[in-house]
Amino acid sequence: MKYLALTAAVLMAALPAQARPVSYPGGITAMITNDGDKNSVHIHYSPTAKTSIGYKGEYWRVQEFGINAVQMNNLLKRWNEKDSQANLYLKSGVGLAYSDYGDFDHEVDAVAFTGISADWEDRRRFISYENRYTEAGDIADFFMQSARVGWAPYEGDYGDLHTWLMLQVDHNPESDQNFTATPLVRLFKGVHLFEAGISTEGKAMLNYVIRY
């Protein structure tokens, strides 16, 4: 286990650490995310380098509904180059949704969601895209997608504090505000990653990821 952890640390140093949905074999990842639409937590275990499974919890504040689900993430393809890496993932989940909203207050229904996630990065540049379709009976039925671009103002060595400046654009056709943009700062050191930003609507984004 110590050897695997050391190997993972070296790989994370070679390219900037990301909040990826699959870790190294035997790795556990905890992600806490808070943005203008929802609060969520995702804790997953990776039995292999291509698969992870775990718990996904969300609460959508405006729509006033929550999700408790089992989520599986699959690495479909990885492209390793000398100074860059690209990844393609499938992320799917099933569970229960519950509503606190109006006529649907206290309603519980089955929920299922699926989507793809892709990213490319080198030591100074980053780009990603992801989408998701969610179906939860009368409680929720929507498609959403988001994209990011990022730039690192300096190249840090292993063990240094790494800094990224990023811009995230979200598209949610079911929302009152279809498009939102969020400039943010990403900081990571070792197994810890922290992000903070403010959207064009003035809503805060705070994300934290730890791998162990």
- pLDDT band (50, 70, 90) for residue 66: very high
What is the C-alpha to C-alpha distance for residues 191 and 8, in angstroms, rounded to an integer? 10
- Which is more confident, 125 or 3? 125
- Which is more confident, 205 or 101? 205
For the chain, how many residues are written? 212
pLDDT (tens digit per residue) in 118-143 = 999 999 999 999 999 999 999 999 99
For the whole model, what pTM was predicted? Answer: 0.86
Number of folded domains that form the chain: 1
Q: Are 91 and 132 contacting, i.e. CB atoms less than 8 angstroms apart?
A: yes
DSSP letters along the chain, please? Answer: -HHHHHHHHHHHHHS-----S--STTEEEEEEEE-SSEEEEEEEEEEETTEEEEEEEEEETTTTEEEEEEEEEEEEEEEE-SS-EEEEEEEEEEEEEEE-SGGGTT-EEEEEEEEEEEEEE-SSEEEEEEEEEEEETTTEEEEEEEEEEEE-SS-PPTTSPEEEEEEEEEE-TTSSSSEEEEEEEEEEETTEEEEEEE-TTS-EEEEEEEE-
- Of 15-29, 38-52, 63-77, 140-154, the one with minimum mean pLDDT is 15-29
Q: Which domain holds residue 123?
A: 2-211
What's the confidence (pLDDT) of residue 3? 36
- Which is more confident, 44 or 20? 44
| Domain harbouring 184, CATH code | 2.40.160.40
Q: Are 192 and 199 contacting, i.e. CB atoms less than 8 angstroms apart?
A: no
What percentage of residues in the chain have a pLDDT greater than 70?
A: 91
Average pLDDT, stretch 166-189? 90
Among the listed residues 190, 199, 197, 194, the one whose alpha carbon sits nearest the alpha carbon of residue 170: 199
What's the confidence (pLDDT) of residue 18? 57
- Within a 10 A sphere around the Cβ of 10, how many other Cβ atoms? 10
